[in-house]
Amino acid sequence: MNSSDKTHTPRTTLSHHTTQAVYYGDDDLVRDLLGQASFVDVFMKQTFGRVPTAAERRIVDAVLVTLMEHGMTPSAIATRMIYSSSPENLQAAVAAGLLAVASRFVGTMEPAAELLDRIVGANAEGADEARTIARDFRSRREPVPGFGHHLHRPDDPRAIALLALAREVGTYGSRCCALERLAIEVDAASGRHITINATGAIAAILGDIGIPAALMRGFAVLSRAAGLIAHVAEEQREPSGRFIWSLVDGAMAAGHPTD
């Protein structure tokens, strides 16, 4: 750290207020945004500094809807268990579920996007780079981020729909093309068809509207928070926490020899 760094005072341009108004950037919350701007528009402007086009808005909406819910996954189970233990803390239950948005579940668009960036960066040698990536993961017997699904076979219908939407609205670009290249090489390296999953498609379509890989998981966090609130609401109506606990306890205890 140099001397100028020591004296630098950080600042934020996201929000400020006066006695009469609250501002999001340069926008007056009451005059310019409330009842006039959508949540997606405000989120995109606050985070990326621009209001999305109509096409980009449809992409972002589709991504958020896709990631909101996928059944009794680890994030949903964590939320339900914490809520059953601490029903006065809805936020703790949602936070527990969000901790599962990571490199194995829900948040895999981030490493997938990094691979697509590599392919796009290779320019004319993109096909060679895709082949290198696919063979490398195959040699390590690791799944390629953005590929494969334990339920959706031979193809993930969500990925097909998302990529079709990108074509429809005109945002299908270099990342989507890179995903196509990588899919060909993943199948070749595996000797069989491996589906592009939803997060693989999301990595491509978000990348093509200018979302950097390092912030893509934020879309999963934003979307899954809404889904987890729905799980809390259902848990209030139809409690499952004790059932889940007893089911796991009984199944795992049955695997141990008795004294």
- The verdict on 28 and 153 lying in the same domain is no
Examine residue 2 and state whether it is found in any structural domain, yes or no.
no
Chain mean pLDDT for the chain: 92
The answer to whether the peptide bond before residue 74 is cis (omega within 30 degrees of 0) is no
- The verdict on 43 and 58 lying in the same domain is no
Examine residue 4 and state whether it is found in any structural domain, yes or no.
no
Task: Provide the CATH number for the domain around residue 152.
Answer: 1.10.230.10
- The verdict on 130 and 29 lying in the same domain is no
Could you tell me what percent of the chain has a pLDDT over 90? Answer: 80
- The verdict on 114 and 147 lying in the same domain is yes
Could you tell me what percent of the chain has a pLDDT over 70? Answer: 96
- The verdict on 137 and 92 lying in the same domain is yes
Examine residue 134 and state whether it is found in any structural domain, yes or no.
yes
- The verdict on 38 and 74 lying in the same domain is no
Express each pLDDT in 32-57 by its tens digit: 999 999 999 999 999 999 999 999 99
- The verdict on 132 and 160 lying in the same domain is yes
- The verdict on 172 and 82 lying in the same domain is yes
- The verdict on 155 and 224 lying in the same domain is yes
Which residues are within 8 A (CB) of 15 and not within 5 positions of it... i.e. 6 or more apart?
22, 23, 24, 25
Examine residue 3 and state whether it is found in any structural domain, yes or no.
no
Express each pLDDT in 200-222 by its tens digit: 999 999 999 999 999 999 999 99
- The verdict on 121 and 27 lying in the same domain is no
Q: Which residues constitute the domain of residue 18?
A: 10-47
- The verdict on 149 and 185 lying in the same domain is yes
Cβ-contact 118, 176 below 8 angstroms: no
Examine residue 99 and state whether it is found in any structural domain, yes or no.
yes
- The verdict on 74 and 177 lying in the same domain is yes
Examine residue 41 and state whether it is found in any structural domain, yes or no.
yes
Examine residue 247 and state whether it is found in any structural domain, yes or no.
no
pTM to 2 decimal places: 0.89
For the chain, how many structural domains are there in total? 2
Examine residue 257 and state whether it is found in any structural domain, yes or no.
no
Express each pLDDT in 77-133 by its tens digit: 999 999 999 999 999 999 999 998 887 777 789 999 999 999 999 987 888 999 999
